[in-house]
């Protein structure tokens, strides 16, 4: 199922019971592009149970397992997820080209050979996770993404020149992974809003960009565990197609009112782009 409207927001259903998420989904239908289920509920309830609960709600579902394994294992998992009728499935780009290609082929096979059997209405999008929004240059260096000489050059320097170089190093890594995902046949990627513009320039107008790390205001106290963030309008202007928003909506006293406010910001940003 693809989005039934022009909304760009995907609400992340985390830190709640499945029944609560279903009730929230019923409340916000018509104000969202879809909903996302990540590790928390996938580990407790499983993909099949989640999709059973969502059946009949007429809201597209992004399942967020972030597959990262050997190609054969990742492909088998993707095939099972594709049969459930999901809208989006994701994998970690750092799993490599062979893994991403295997997942792409598995989803294609389900769509081409089994869609009638499983009653599938739309071919799932397969997107790659580039660099988690919780990462900065130091945490990426700690796990070996940058050469030692670059890491050593950055340590102990806090001036604007070095900060710019650190930001650019994260962006370069993100774009490299996005290009690899595109070359592997994926439909798009997940990235922070801060890299969306560079990915759009590198990968073209039809490549899908999904951005978490969205906050209604970008200021002290709004970051939580995400460090590379943006406002809804900022992400859209940077080139994002879809905005994944969790706590600002799910913890809101009035989720519908919050979504209406976000959708107005998004509409204004889209108007500025055209």
Residues designated as active site: 66
Strand partners, 126: 89
Cα 75 from chain centroid? 19
- Say which DSSP state 33 is in: S
Q: Which of 95, 104, 99 is nearest to 126 (CA)?
A: 104
Q: Which residues, in sequence order, are CB contacts of 101 under 8 Å at separation 6+?
A: 71, 184, 185
Cα-based angle 25, 235, 243 (whole degrees, multiple of 5)? 15
Cα-based angle 63, 64, 66 (whole degrees, multiple of 5)? 135
Segment holding 103, helix H or strand E: helix 97-118
Given the structure tokens 């997107």, which residue do they identify?
127
77 and 106 Cβ atoms separated by less than 8 Å? no
Q: Which residues, in sequence order, are CB contacts of 252 under 8 Å at separation 6+?
A: 258
Cα(241)–Cα(237) distance, rounded to whole angstroms? 10
Cα-based angle 76, 52, 127 (whole degrees, multiple of 5)? 45
Q: Which residues, in sequence order, are CB contacts of 31 under 8 Å at separation 6+?
A: 7, 9, 256, 259, 260, 263
Q: Which of 54, 43, 117, 132 is nearest to 87 (CA)?
A: 54
């Amino acid at each position: 199922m693809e989005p039934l409207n022009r909304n760009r927001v995907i609400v992340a259903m985390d830190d709640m019971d499945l029944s609560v998420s279903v009730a929230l989904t019923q409340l916000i239908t018509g104000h969202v592009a879809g909903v996302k289920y990540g590790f928390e509920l996938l580990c407790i309830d499983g993909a099949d149970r989640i999709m059973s609960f969502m059946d009949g709600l007429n809201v597209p579902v992004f399942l967020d397992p972030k597959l990262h394994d050997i190609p054969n294992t990742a492909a088998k998992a993707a095939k099972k997820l594709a049969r459930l009728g999901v809208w989006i499935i994701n994998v970690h780009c750092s799993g490599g080209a062979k893994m991403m290609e295997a997942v792409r082929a598995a989803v294609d096979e389900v769509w081409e050979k089994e869609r009638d059997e499983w009653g599938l209405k739309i071919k799932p999008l397969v997107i790659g996770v580039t660099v988690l929004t919780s990462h900065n240059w130091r945490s990426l260096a700690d796990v070996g993404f940058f050469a030692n000489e670059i890491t050593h050059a950055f340590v102990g320097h806090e001036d604007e020149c070095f900060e710019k170089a650190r930001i650019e190093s994260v962006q370069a890594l993100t774009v490299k992974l996005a290009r690899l995902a595109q070359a592997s046949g994926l439909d798009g990627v997940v990235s922070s809003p801060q890299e969306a513009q560079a990915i759009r320039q590198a990968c073209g107008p039809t490549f899908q960009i999904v951005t978490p790390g969205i906050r209604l205001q970008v200021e002290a106290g709004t970051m939580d565990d995400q460090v590379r963030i943006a406002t809804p309008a900022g992400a859209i202007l940077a080139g994002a197609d879809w905005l994944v928003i969790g706590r600002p909506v799910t913890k809101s006293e009035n989720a519908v009112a919050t979504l209406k406010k976000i959708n107005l910001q998004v509409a204004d940003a889209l108007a500025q782009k055209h």
